[in-house]
Structure 1
Amino acid sequence: MYQTMIDILKQELVPALGCTEPIALAYASAKAREVLGEMPDELYVECSGNIIKNAKSVIVPRTKNLKGIEAAAIVGMLGGNPDKKLEVLTTVTEDNIEEAKRLLERKYCKTSLLDTQEKLHIIVHMKKGEHSALVELVKTHTGIIKIEKDDKVIFIDEVTEEAINAVDYNVLNIADILNFAENVEITEIKPILVRQIEYNTKIAKEGLYHTYGVNVGAALIDIYGDDVKIRAKAMPAAGSDARMNGCELPVIINSGSGNQGMTVSLPVIEFGNMLNVDENKLLRALCISNLIAIYQKYQIGRLSAYCGAVSAAAGAGAGIAYLYGGKEEEITQTLVNTLANVSGIVCDGAKSSCAAKIASAVDAAIVATMISLRGKGFVAGDGIVKDTIQKTIDGVVTLAKEGMKETDEVILKIMMNEG
């Protein structure tokens, strides 16, 4: 179990440049171009509804202002390096961007909604004369399951949950996460978490001091001041401001999401700085916040109608409670208090307003933490709250996966001007 926890952190806390859904599109497109070996005459992309939802309104990194599925696929095709995976667009040049603009004007890339049960599913088709390439990606943002060249399968991988999660996420539970965080040899997690602190703080400051989107993070501090409770909301919101609006700095993600990676870490860092805790204490708190966020989200799935900022903020609240000396009882109650409050926030795609949702979720987590540290909290029978944390989280998972299934479809219809 000890090694599994470390493996989960290594697998989940990785760098990504830009919103991960357009990046997944760019990655699949870059791979298809590599397989084809030449510039295609035709580019056709099929996407699941959640990919469309999350790629529709966000700026593709390195492009300054290009948005959408077509832009992500074209830019990935022209200048992406598939070997860099979630940092696929770090090799894009100004010439690539100018060519992408010309191709977009020509409506070069065709797209369609993919008929699939998967939330995360992309198929990229390319043709050049008699030659063709196909790349299919499913379940994770780099999870290529099939590659074809000239209609012949050259790579196929039957993707199962077990194959994707080479480590067993089912070991995750609150008691064992806390035991691991308290006892792990700090040198084994330090490189992973120090990188998260460095990357996510840097992009948050970029969003705080420069113009991106509507600057939710900067507005919070301008309006409410520099109190730690405001900074804890403003920093991840500012990081999202920057990330959703074309900033070229990478972030360390959590559960496949940069916004969740910032939400789960930056509030903990702010409270750690305010409380003047030593580095080891902060790293153990971040270990708790990250693993508790993953514990919730891996059961829900990477994409859904349930806003991932909620599970990430709940994790951050747990980390903050730990910094204040909270034990299992207070940390568990923080999770319950957060989920009882804001589990209804919906995901309507990646875009500027994600920053405001992050701020709302973190605010709820801070309130939840302070209530729990006073020995108070919501109890079984209060709405969706059950008599154990596992039952409460199971209920939230059911809400997200089953209760919000139709919600997800309606959100997509509204976004596509069909509802």
Structure 2
Amino acid sequence: MPFTVKEILKMEVAPALGCTEPVAIALAAAAAASLLPQRGFDRLELWVDPNIYKNGIAVSIPGTGGLSGLDMAAALGALGGDPALSMQVLEPIGEAAVSQAKQALAQGKVKVNLRREFGLYIKVVLSAGEDRAEAVVSELHDNISYLALNGRELTDHPLLGGKQGSSANQLAQMELWFKDLPLSDLLDMIDDFDQEDMDFLEQSVKVNLKLAEYGLKHGPGLGTGQALERLVRQGLIKKDMIVAAKMLASAAADARMAGVKLPAMASAGSGNHGLTAVLPIWALRDYLEVDDAEVLKAVGLSHLVTGYVKAHTGRLSAVCGCSIAAGAGAAAGVTYLLGGSLHYIAGAIINLTSDLAGVICDGAKASCALKLSTAAGTAVQAALFALQGVSVQPTDGIVGGTLEQTTKNVGLLSTEGMVETDRTILKIMLEKHFAEY
């Protein structure tokens, strides 16, 4: 069945406070805690799949002053999170909840278990006195698929089913539909944006821009964006379109990965994807004579292409989605903004794919800012190259005869070719954290 552009945006673009994986853990824990007569627990046990583990282990949690860890995310969700806020579940967290969570961890009340099966999965079991509450998040980061209290499944609870108007089943149907679409259909959808859609796209820009502005002003995390700005001031590099895109995207990632308590407007289930899909396009406003409506249409196209590529690669994998999916979205949006037709947009995406297809995902952490910087700069470069007639040919590597075939090849690389790579990355990370897999 065909989906409208409004339905796609509703399912694919949403605010998220903090890195998506620890937030999803906090959501599951908060959902389980909401079933108990009162806050607090004697025991919390957590099960996660390998990719949730990989992406959640090292990244800072918002509102905690730089704390990290799957156990901390679960404890915070259980002690102070609001599951009704979905991916902004940690918004109410304050010093009291952080202190209680630290105490729970120090007392050994939280245990983390790693599942061997891949596929997005989080299970939390809370015990408090005679009561036992369970919650499962699966398939999507915001999809609470199971709730139970004292062994009785709750099938009609309002928290079940993820964000309003969407479900894992609907998204699966949309992704199947997405996979068969030609790029021309995605480009045609730009004409379907109404004022409500444009207002929503403008909001996605404003939300992500606040993170970038914070990162440039304060230099949190790795400080990549601020370092780029400093290099410009020192005259060591020149601020052109490529550097401007790198600066905005990396500064926002610096702030988000450092746990700054500001939401990101996620794209295709990832806040960092949202930063990559949106900010490089917005950065070009200072270099082009374009009105904001055209910029917002380009942002909309970027979200659509990001979701299209993610439908092929999967939500979580060994491939860096910020590079290969959101980077492709940004390349498409930049090319559109520069006046490129379908031919050039396809060429830009292929250029970027050929350049960045080998970038691995080794979890969410401060150095993601470097990858977002690379993705943002490469997106602009890929577009400029395409418009100059530079386009990687089908004879090269994984590039196919068409953009659509190239994207299918990237999906095959991600879902089949890099499975063992994913296991090896996880093994290295687990050895660092003195665990066994």
Report if TM-score (shorter chain) is over 0.5. yes
Contact 2:27 2:89 in 1 (8 A): yes
Contact 2:319 2:361 in 1 (8 A): yes
Q: In structure 1, the residue corresponding to 2:267 is in which secondary structure?
A: coil
Of 141-150 and 157-166, the range deviating more from structure 2: 157-166
Q: Contact 2:266–2:273 (CA<8 Å) still a contact in 1?
A: yes
Listed as ranges, the matches of 1:5-404 within 5 Å are 5-38=5-38, 39-118=40-119, 120-155=120-155, 162-165=169-172, 167=174, 170-171=177-178, 172-181=181-190, 183-223=191-231, 224-310=237-323, 311-404=325-418
Q: Secondary structure at the match of 2:145?
A: strand
The count of corresponding residues between Structure 1 and Structure 2 is: 417
Q: 1:274 Cα shift?
A: 2.0
Q: Distance in 1 between matches of 2:150 and 2:254?
A: 42
Task: Give the structure 1 partner of residue 234 of structure 2.
Answer: none
Q: Quick check: 2:187–2:301 contact (8 Å CA) kept in 1?
A: yes
State the shift of 1:158 in Å.
9.8
Q: TM-score, normalised by structure 1?
A: 0.95
Deviation at 1:134, TM superposition (A): 0.7
Structure 1 pair 401/265, CA: closer, same or farther in 2 (3 Å)?
A: same
Shift of 1:281: 0.8
List structure 1 segments (4+ residues) > 3 angstroms apart after TM superposition: 156-169
Distance in 2, matches of 1:273 and 1:46, equals 47
Counterpart of 2:71 in structure 1: which amino acid? E
1:288 to partner: Cα distance: 1.1
Deviates more, 1:312-321 or 1:328-337: 312-321
Gaps of 5+ in 1: none
Q: Is the 8 A contact 2:246 2:376 kept in 1?
A: yes
Residue 89 of structure 1 aligns to a residue whose secondary structure is coil
Cα-Cα RMSD: 1.9
The change in CA–CA distance for 1:254 and 1:169 in structure 2 (over 3 A counts) is farther
Determine helix, strand or coil for the equivalent of 1:77.
Answer: helix
Which 5+ residue runs of structure 2 have no aligned equivalent? 232-236
Whole-Å separation in 2 of the counterparts to 1:336 and 1:286: 19
Matches of 1:105 and 1:399, distance apart in 2: 42
CA displacement at 1:177 relative to structure 2: 1.1
* Identity level (%): 36
Could you tell me whether the CA contact under 8 Å between 2:144 and 2:161 is conserved in 1? no
Cα distance in 2 between the residues matched to 1:165 and 1:380:
30
1:170 aligned partner, one-letter code: W
Is the Cα–Cα contact under 8 Å of residues 21 and 55 in structure 2 kept in the other structure?
yes
Letter in 1 for 2:114: L
Supply the distance in 1 between the matched residues of 2:85 and 2:193 (Cα, whole angstroms): 30
TM-score by length of 2: 0.91
Secondary structure of the corresponding residue to residue 92 of structure 1:
coil
